[in-house]
A = this chain, B = another copy of it.
Amino acid sequence: MQFAKRLQNVETSAIREIFKLLGTPGIISFAGGFPDAALFDREGLAEAARKAVLEQPAASLQYGPTEGYQPLREQITSRLHEQGAQVAPADVLVTTGSQQALDLLGKTLLSPGDKVLVEGPTFLATIQCFRLYGAEVISVPTDGDGVQVDALERLIAEHRPRLVYLIPTFGNPSGSLLPLARRRRVLELAAQHRVVVVEDNPYGELYFDELPPATLLALSATVPGSRDWLVYCGSFSKILSPGLRLGWMVAPAALLANAVMCKQFSDANSSMLAQVTASEYLQTGRLAATLTNVQQVYAERARLMMERLRAELGEALAFTPPRGGMFIWARLTGAGGRSGDAAAFVRRGIEQGVAVVPGLPFYATEPDPATFRMSYATVPDEKIIEGVQRLARAL
Q: By the criterion CB–CB under 8 Å, are A63 and B6 in contact? A: no
**A100-108, A294-302, A312-320: which one contacts chain B?**
A100-108
Residues of chain B within 8 A (CB-CB) of A250 are none
Q: By the criterion CB–CB under 8 Å, are A107 and B125 in contact? A: no
- State whether the Cβ of A222 lies closer than 8 Å to any Cβ in chain B: no
The 8 A CB mask of A203-241 against B (1 = contact, 0 = none) is: 000000000000000000000000011000000010001
**A75-83, A145-153, A263-271, A355-363: which one contacts chain B?**
A263-271
- State whether the Cβ of A193 lies closer than 8 Å to any Cβ in chain B: no
Q: By the criterion CB–CB under 8 Å, are B243 and A271 in contact? A: yes
Residues of chain B within 8 A (CB-CB) of A62 are 34, 37, 241-243
Known contacts A7-B258, A125-B265, A245-B270; is A49 also within 8 Å of B53 by CB? Answer: yes
Q: How long is the Cα–Cα vector from A50 to B266 in the complex, in angstroms?
A: 28
Residues of chain B within 8 A (CB-CB) of A125 are 264-265, 268
Q: How long is the Cα–Cα vector from A107 to B6 in the complex, in angstroms?
A: 8
Residues of chain B within 8 A (CB-CB) of A246 are 271
- State whether the Cβ of A254 lies closer than 8 Å to any Cβ in chain B: yes
Known contacts A10-B261, A243-B62; is A4 also within 8 Å of B110 by CB? Answer: yes
Residues of chain B within 8 A (CB-CB) of A129 are 265-266
| Residue of B whose beta carbon sits closest to that of A378 | B62
Residues of chain B within 8 A (CB-CB) of A99 are 265-268
